[in-house]
Structure 1
Amino acid sequence: MDGRVCKLLTEEEIKNLIHQNLKKEDYAGKRILVIIPDHTRSGPTGLFFKTISEELSLIAKKLDFIIALGTHPPLKEEKINKLLGISAKERRTKYKNIELFNHCWDDPSNLQTIGKITHSDMKRISGGLMNEEIPVQINKRVFEYDRIIISGPVFPHEVVGFSGGYKYLFPGIAGPEIIHRFHWLGALITNIKINGVKNTPVREVVNKSASFIKIPIKMLCYVIKEGRVHGLYIGGKESWSRAADLSEKLNIEYKKRKFHTVLAVAPPMYEDLWTAGKCMYKLEPVVEDGGRLIIYAPHIKEVSFTHGKYLFQIGYHTRDYFLKQMDKFRDIPGGILAHSTHVKGIGTYVNNREVPRINVILATGIPKQKCKEINLDYMDPFKINVEDYANREDEGILLVRKAGEVLYRRR
């Protein structure tokens, strides 16, 4: 399907496209696993779940879904039902033969090694930034199926360049080593240089990892703007590429200037700073040197449900802070270091003095003392009137009412 910048797709059009492209002869009698995003990604996940189920459940030998959590916490049944737009009763009746799985990234019994990225490959792909062998592990459940379908949105992304496609495999349902190493590679390149770029070294690592999977894969890659589907591309790897091209047009907003103050309102789908960090990733390029970015999220009370222990151990720092002291942080997983540097932003570390380019401030439910412990500044969210920041771009103040998915750049 050719996505058009101004063409909204109706539910009926989406259903028809799926019907036309999931051909019965390809799936009849097959065991099918569908990989879908969790609740931290916008889009009509429920519509795609229901439509795929209607198309394939009666002809497939087995049809199941797995949530590509990466290292996010597993979803309880109530949250899964909400994600899929179904009731508990529907799950027990209409969808009773469909199993719904959470990915467990940190349980070795759930993982299978399928290959390795060699020293020479990593050195070549990374341009010399990394030179190590990386085992590639994936949820072994995929090998119980004859076909894989990946269904999810494509947005600009701080680590890979654009999300979606094979990224739902790696890190979506991957093991810890490949997750941590390629996230660290993204951090070495920096968010500023990688976010919103289609062909990146990290994407090459993801594609290389996916090449070890010999099960046929079909992608349903869609592009979202303001909660609506503007393009749906179905097929192989080229489907992701075309979706990324459309996302570049729809999900990158250009500004005439940089701003000394940015108030980034984190939507409720971000439940901890680990996910709300996307507010910083998407807005870092339009904050001027010495400026401040405020992550406004009174509902967030946790730094990270999964990785909080590590983050309180190391705090939030620039890339160079870690690079010049790597012996001190060698035992910290690369994905944790990457998140830390992405939230803090680029900066320098010279003569034991760290100077971030901008100041990141938390206006969340995380107390002031805890913010201090993790090396981030604090503002009381209940003393902030969001409207005080509205319509002041000429003064150097930018308000983003739903931050985290649209990338902002200076024109």
Structure 2
Amino acid sequence: MTTLYPGVAPAATVGGPETTLTDEEIRRFVVDSLSALDVDGKRVTIVVPDGTRHAPVAMMAHHIRDALGTRPRNVRVVIALGTHDYMSEPAIAALMGYEPGHFADEYPGWEIHNHDWRRDETFANLGTIGAARIGELTAGRLTDRDMTVLVNRMVVDTDISLVLGPVLPHEVVGISGGNKYFFPGLSGHDVIDMSHWVGALITSYEMIGSVGITPVRQMIDAAAELIPSTKLLLGMIVKPGSDALQFLSFGDTRTSWEACAEVSSQVHVAYVPKAYKRVVSVIPTMYEDMWTGAKGFYKMEPVVADGGELIIYAPHITQVSVMHPGIEEIGYHNRQYFVGQWERFKGHPWGELAHSTHLRGLGDYDPVTGAETNRVTVTLATGIPRDVVERINLTYLDPAEVDLAALAADPDTLVVPNAGELLHRTEAQRLRLPA
């Protein structure tokens, strides 16, 4: 049953927060859901996440293939990169479960594409949402700019857009998934920049894990309404630390997301007894630069004590951002640093400003003295050189000097493996955060 989207058909679901679904339960749910879907002679576009999202995409894609059979006129798969780097053929093969170079053998009649976000001809212009409406959607946070809605043509020039994706706590929108796979997953820069900046104005600390329809969710839902194809979500709740699935939903991208979001809020949040003076986020290799690896900060910020330190331990990361070199120009700063100097920064891509604040966390800025103060110290123990780390306003630590075992033995330190997967909060924050 839906409470957030009255009048929209509720999603079909299987599983729950205390469940681990069997292979047969998963297969049967996908087959039953898609067998009942009218796809005969229709064009189907499947939207999948890239390699920075942990989920059994290959298994689910094979079930979708079997359920659709030869009924559709054609099937295309598009990888929702947002502004992440394009996936290579070996990476796509690993994502979708086929031998490199043999996609057509594994998925007969299908095509697969990276979202080619660098090329203007990739996009369809769906129109503009006016500044007044943006003001309403954002509760007055952004009132002076129209939003042009550009989206990958593949979800416009199709009959059915079927999103396959996991649902997790997210620093910009609250809980990821659903229409977020269109915006920013397949989006032009206007929606990306404006929605991310609104999220930054709220702050990741307050936003991440919000189950309801946040201002950013309202923005992307409004943009998605302009997509003419039928929009469906096969949503997944992945059991932490595994490839197992606990919950699946299928239906409209809004109510299917709503069903998953409620379960995610129970499954993907870890509660610890206190805030720690030091938190060490051990970043998995699936995050290849700080743009993606910053999730090790987003999801741990609530459990770092005031004045404490968060260490991002990732010797494999050697670059700040492959696709967004502008981060090295502006560095990492809190929200107030940019708000207090808006004339200076308003011409910089807002998505980069937002990312900057998300990794720096809460803080303040005095425009009179130019002094920036931050709630916590952010330390990079990565392969990024010291001079770069210090230039971007963070603290450097040689990863060779990090003794994870010794740090884990310190009662004032929390060491988190595979950081970026689970949102962490303290017991005192239970039912209080997000605001």
Scaled by the length of structure 2, the TM-score of the pair is 0.91
Any gaps of 5 or more consecutive residues in structure 1?
Answer: none
Note the 1:337-376 alignment, pairs <5 A: 337-350=353-366, 351-376=369-394
| Deviates further, 123-132 or 333-342 | 123-132
Cα distance in 2 for residues equivalent to 1:143 and 1:243: 25
Q: Determine the structure 1 residue equivalent to 2:8.
A: none
Residues 34, 66 of structure 1: 8 Å contact kept: yes
TM-aligned CA distance change 1:263 to 1:314, over 3 Å: same
Tell me if 1:142 matches 2:155.
Answer: yes
Return 2-11 or 161-170, whichever deviates more: 2-11
Per-residue CA deviations over 1:39-88 (Å, capped at 9, x if unaligned) read 10011011111111122142211011000000001111111001112112
What is residue 417 of structure 2 aligned with on the other side?
A: 401
Matched, 1:162 2:186: no
Unaligned runs of 5+ in 2: 1-12, 428-435
Q: Are 1:66 and 2:66 matched, yes or no?
A: no
Checking the alignment, whether the CA contact within 8 Å between 2:408 and 2:415 is kept in structure 1 is yes
- The equivalent of 2:245 in structure 1 is 229
2:98, 2:106 within 8 Å by CA — same for their partners in 1? no
Indicate the percent of aligned positions where both proteins have the same amino acid.
Answer: 38
Can you list the C-alpha shifts for 1:61-117, whole angstroms capped at 9, x where unaligned? 101100000000111111100111211254242325211111122321111111322
1:120 Cα shift? Answer: 1.3
Contact 2:35–2:67 (8 Å) recurs in 1: no
Q: Give the whole-Å Cα distance in 2 for the aligned partners of 1:384 and 1:19.
A: 48
TM-score (norm 1): 0.97
Q: 1:180 aligns with which of 174, 193, 205?
A: 193
Residues 213-272 of structure 1, C-alpha deviation per residue, up to 9 Å, x if partnerless? 121122101111222211001111211101000000000111221000000011111000
Question: Aligned partners of 2:102, 2:409: CA distance in 1, in Å?
Answer: 45
1:189 and 2:202 equivalent? yes
1:258 is aligned to 2:270: no
The CA distance in 1 between the partners of 2:59 and 2:142, in whole Å, is 41
Matched, 1:35 2:55: no
The equivalences for 1:10-409 within 5 A come to 10-23=22-35, 26-88=38-100, 90-131=102-143, 132-199=145-212, 200-225=214-239, 226-227=241-242, 228-236=244-252, 237-308=254-325, 310-350=326-366, 351-392=369-410, 395-409=411-425
Q: Specify the SS of the correspondent of 2:156.
A: helix
Residue 391 of structure 1 and its aligned partner are, at CA, apart by: 4.9
Aligned-CA RMSD value? 1.3
For the residue of structure 2 that corresponds to 1:405, the secondary structure is: coil
Query: What secondary structure, in the 3-state scheme, does the structure 1 residue paired with 2:419 have?
Result: coil
Q: Which whole-Å CA distance do the structure 2 matches of 1:93 and 1:107 have between them?
A: 29
Could you list the per-position Cα deviations for residues 305-351 of structure 1 after superposition, in whole angstroms to 9, with x for gaps in the alignment? 1002x111111111101111111112211100000010011101013
Q: How many correspondences in the alignment?
A: 408
Q: Is the 8 A contact 2:15 2:21 kept in 1?
A: no
Distance in 2, Cα, partners of 1:242 & 1:143:
25
Aligned-partner SS, 1:249: helix
Letter in 2 for 1:367: P
Q: Is the 8 A contact 1:37 1:69 kept in 2?
A: yes
Distance in 1 (alpha carbons) for counterparts of 2:37 and 2:377 = 56
Q: Is residue 56–residue 63 contact of structure 1 (8 Å, CA) maintained in 2? A: no
> Are the equivalent residues in 2 in contact too, given 1:24–1:59 (CA < 8 A)?
no
1:331-389 CA-to-partner distances (Å, cap 9, x unmatched) read 21110000001001110101310001100010111011110111111111111122222
Q: Is the 8 A contact 1:223 1:231 kept in 2?
A: yes
Do 1:9 and 1:230's aligned partners in 2 also have CA atoms closer than 8 Å?
yes
Alpha-carbon separation, structure 2, partners of 1:32 and 1:219: 13
State the AA in 2 paired with 1:246: V
Q: CA deviation at 1:146?
A: 1.1
Which 4+ residue blocks in structure 1 deviate beyond 4 angstroms?
A: none
Matches within 5 A, 1:2-17: 2-17=14-29
